[in-house]
């Protein structure tokens, strides 16, 4: 049975969720459109179906972890966490700093719990932080294992079959990546909403609506441009990078861990560019990645603690 507290609270939650979806969801799932393998409509349809599937398969576990296993805070605390996530994500995106919704949300909740002297599950937070590192390592390992195999399979095909195979591979990657988004990013973004409603159908509806507007806005605003770093790689390598990240994130979400797709992509990109002997990731980029990976969660934690202490 759906239980809603008051309109303002819900509106703010939905707004935060929308912003998070618009900023993050379709960031990587644009390659088939860019390569004209799928039309925008088919791509959006597949994206939404896969997001919903991912959300249903393992999103629930991630939602439970974020909403009830990190800390015992009330709905106002979650409202604050959601609004803070929204603000931090918007600010970082405007400054072109890649950040993970999962990291920001988890650390905001932890910060709010500390600031309001609520019970906090330190073991769970350590587990989540370890899973962030684990997902990076897993994504890199998957790339390391898959790259030589993928290369030998594709290179043994005739050019025409290779082209057809590449198209199918890109569609598969779009599906996997969208599923991973649904099971991790969307589930994390929706988790505060699970406090005010216990209906999975309502949550799924909200996910679909905001994922839809998110992907439309992303296409409209950014003309389906994938991250700049990936522009230096060929299509097959980009697809492999995304597949490794998607598999890694999906596997972690199956055990209820909210891990970042962006960070998994970065790790996989590092491995693939090393194997291809292409220097894509300069020292400055790696330094920024490490700095943001450490700095953004810390900033979110401090922001959460300060805001909840003031309020």
Partner 1 sequence: MGIVSKLLAPFRSTLENDVFKALVELANLSSTTCSMLIRMIESDNKNLVRKISKNERHGDEIRRNVEKLLFEGAFLPQSRPLFFTLAERMDSVIDSIEDCAKIYEAAQQIDEEIKRRVLHILDVTKEACDCFCDALLSFFRGDERRMQEKIAVINEIEARIDDVKHEVFKSMVRSRDKCFWKEKCMEDFVDSAEEISDKLQDAADTLSVIAASMKV
Q: Phi first, then psi: what are they for 23, rounded to 5°?
A: -75, -35
When binding is defined by CB under 8 A, the residue of 28, 29, 38, 99 that contacts partner 1 is 38
Residues present in the chain in total: 311
Q: Among 96, 119, 158, 220, which residue sits at the site for partner 1 (rule: CB under 8 A)?
A: 158
How near is the Cβ of 154 to partner 1 at its closest, in Å?
Answer: 4
> Under the criterion CB under 8 A, does residue 277 sit at the interface with partner 1?
no
SS3 45: helix
Q: Is 260 in the site for partner 1 (CB under 8 A)?
A: no
228 part of the interface to partner 1, by CB under 8 A: no
**Cβ-contact 281, 267 below 8 angstroms:** no
Q: Tokens at residue 246, please?
A: 């998607």
Binding part of the chain for partner 1, among 59-67, 95-103, 210-218, 228-236 by CB under 8 A, reads 228-236
Q: Which of 160, 220, 279, 283 binds partner 1 (CB under 8 A)?
A: 160
Task: Give the separation between CA 163 and CA 179, rounded to whole angstroms.
Answer: 24
Binding to partner 1 (CB under 8 A) within 166-205 occurs at 166-168, 171
| Bridge partners, residue 71, by sequence | 120
Residue 37 or 265 having the CB closest to partner 1: 37
Contact flag: residue 237 with partner 1 (CB under 8 A): yes
Number of residues that bind partner 1 (CB under 8 A): 27
CB-wise, 235 or 302, nearer to partner 1? 235
CA distance 17 to 24: 11
The reply on whether position 163 binds partner 1 by CB under 8 A is yes
Q: What share of the chain is helix, strand, coil (3-state, %, to 5)?
A: 80, 0, 20
The C-alpha atoms of residue 60 and residue 253 are separated, in whole angstroms, by 9
Does residue 284 bind partner 1 (CB under 8 A)? no
Tell me if 278 contacts partner 1 by CB under 8 A: no
Q: Measured between alpha carbons, how far is 47 from 178 in angstroms, rounded to an integer?
A: 6
Closer to partner 1 by CB, 175 or 301: give it: 175
Angle between helices 75-94 and 7-24 (to 10 degrees): 30
Residue with Cβ nearer partner 1 (148 or 205): 148
- Rounded distance, CA 307 to CA 16, Å? 17
Binding site for partner 1 (CB under 8 A): 34-38, 42, 150-151, 154-164, 166-168, 171, 234-237
């Amino acid at each position: 049975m759906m239980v809603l507290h008051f309109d303002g609270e819900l509106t703010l939650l939905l707004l935060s969720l929308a912003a998070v979806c618009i900023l993050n969801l379709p960031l990587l799932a644009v390659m088939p459109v860019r390569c004209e393998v799928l039309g925008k409509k088919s791509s959006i349809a597949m994206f939404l179906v896969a997001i919903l599937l991912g959300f249903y398969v393992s999103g629930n576990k991630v939602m439970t972890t974020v909403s009830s296993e990190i800390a015992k805070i009330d709905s106002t605390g979650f409202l604050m966490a959601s609004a803070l996530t929204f603000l931090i994500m918007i600010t970082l995106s405007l400054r072109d700093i890649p950040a993970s919704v999962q990291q920001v949300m988890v650390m905001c909740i932890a910060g709010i719990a500390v600031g309001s002297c609520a019970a906090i599950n330190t073991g769970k937070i350590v587990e989540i932080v370890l899973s962030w590192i684990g997902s990076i390592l897993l994504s890199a390992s998957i790339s390391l294992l898959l790259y030589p195999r993928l290369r030998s399979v594709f290179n043994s095909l005739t050019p025409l079959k290779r082209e057809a195979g590449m198209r199918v591979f890109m569609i598969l990657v779009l599906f996997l990546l969208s599923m991973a988004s649904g099971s991790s990013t969307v589930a994390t973004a929706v988790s505060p909403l699970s406090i005010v409603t216990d209906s999975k159908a309502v949550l799924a509806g909200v996910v679909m609506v905001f994922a839809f507007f998110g992907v439309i806005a992303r296409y409209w605003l950014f003309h389906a441009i994938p991250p700049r770093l990936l522009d230096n790689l060929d299509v097959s390598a980009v697809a492999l990078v995304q597949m490794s990240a998607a598999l890694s994130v999906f596997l972690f979400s199956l055990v209820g861990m909210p891990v970042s797709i962006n960070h998994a992509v970065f790790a996989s990109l590092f491995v693939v560019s090393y194997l291809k002997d292409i220097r894509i990731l300069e020292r400055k980029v790696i330094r920024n990645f490490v700095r943001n990976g450490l700095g953004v969660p810390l900033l979110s934690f401090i922001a959460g603690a300060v805001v909840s202490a003031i309020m």
